[in-house]
Amino acid sequence: MFITITIKTGDLEKDVRIDSEQKIGTALKVLRESGNIPYGDEPAYYRSKQNEKLVSAYKTYHEESIYDGDVLTSIGL
């Protein structure tokens, strides 16, 4: 299933449509490589606005209960 979410990194906000069975980190790496989000550190964690929790870049969107309309903000730990 595909979901539409917003990725926030630095000053950039980008709406993307992503397969929910893809790992969060892998999907964001592809977005960086295609020039859709800027290069920089690849965080291991993001903050989910809907779930109000940290989510791991090593799990899938489905595993972390990320659904349509969520906002993921990159964080540095």
Rounded distance, CA 19 to CA 38, Å?
Answer: 21
- Condensed to tens digits (0 to 9), the pLDDT of residues 50-68 reads 999 999 999 999 999 999 9
Rounded distance, CA 10 to CA 2, Å?
Answer: 25
Number of structural domains in the chain: 1
Q: Which two tokens stand for residue 47?
A: 């903050």
Domain limits at 43? 2-75
- Condensed to tens digits (0 to 9), the pLDDT of residues 9-48 reads 878 888 999 999 999 989 888 888 888 777 666 788 999 9
Using the 8-state DSSP alphabet, how is residue 51 labeled?
T
CATH number of the domain at 41, please: 3.10.20.90
State how far the alpha carbon of 45 is from the alpha carbons of 1, 55, 68, in Å.
22, 5, 19
